[in-house]
Amino acid sequence: MLALMSAAPKIITPLLVALLLVGCQTMRTVTPREAFFQKHPDLRARYHEFYETSPEAIAEDHAWKFSLGLTLIRQIREHHAECTDLMQSLDIVEKRFETYLDEGLSILQELKQVFNPKFDSLFWYSYGSGDNQGQGYVIVRNGNVYRTFWVAGSVKKPDEIP
C-alpha cells in the first residue's frame, strides 16, 4: 500500500502537466484587432493600415518628427545665414511645423480625454482610394467603432464608417 502511495505522485504529476500543456495549446487568444475584424469582416479589405497604438506612442512619435524637422531647420540657418531667400522660406516652414505640432496636440488631448485603456483599443488606420479615403485614429470598444479622429487631409463621406 505504501509503495502505491509513493508511486501516485509520479504518475499523476506527468498526467497533469500533459493536460495543462494540451489545454494551453488549444486556447487561442484573440487580439483587439482580430476581434474588430471578426465582428466586421467586410471592413478588413478596406484598410491599408490598421495597427494598435497608444496615446503615449502617438505623442512620442509626433514630438520626434517635429523636433527632428525643427533641428534640421536650425542647422540650415546656422550654415546658410547669408541666403535671405532661404531664411524666408525656412521661416515659413518653421511656422508650419509649429502649427502642425499644435494641431496634433489638440487631437492627442481629445484622444486622452475619450480613450479608456481598460475598455478601449486605439488604432491608427488608413483606408480607401480616390475620393473616399482617410487616415487617422479610431477607438474600438467591444469590437465596435466608438470614436474616430481623422487627420488633416483626409477625404471622408458622412455615411462611411472608417
**123: which residues sit within 8 A by CB, 6+ positions away?**
33, 36, 50, 51, 52, 53, 137, 138, 139, 140
Residue 79 and residue 65 share a domain: yes
Residue 161 and residue 127 share a domain: yes
Kindly report, residue by residue over 1-31, the tens digit of the pLDDT. Answer: 445 455 556 666 666 666 566 555 556 788 8
Residue 106 and residue 62 share a domain: yes
Kindly report, residue by residue over 142-155, the tens digit of the pLDDT. Answer: 889 999 888 855 55
Q: Quote the domain boundaries for residue 110.
A: 55-116
**What H or E segment, with its residue span, contains residue 74?**
helix 55-79
Residue 129 and residue 162 share a domain: yes
Question: Measuring CA to CA, which residue among 117, 118, 123, 130 is closest to residue 147?
Answer: 123
Say if 11 falls within a structural domain. no
Say whether pLDDT at 161 is over 50. no
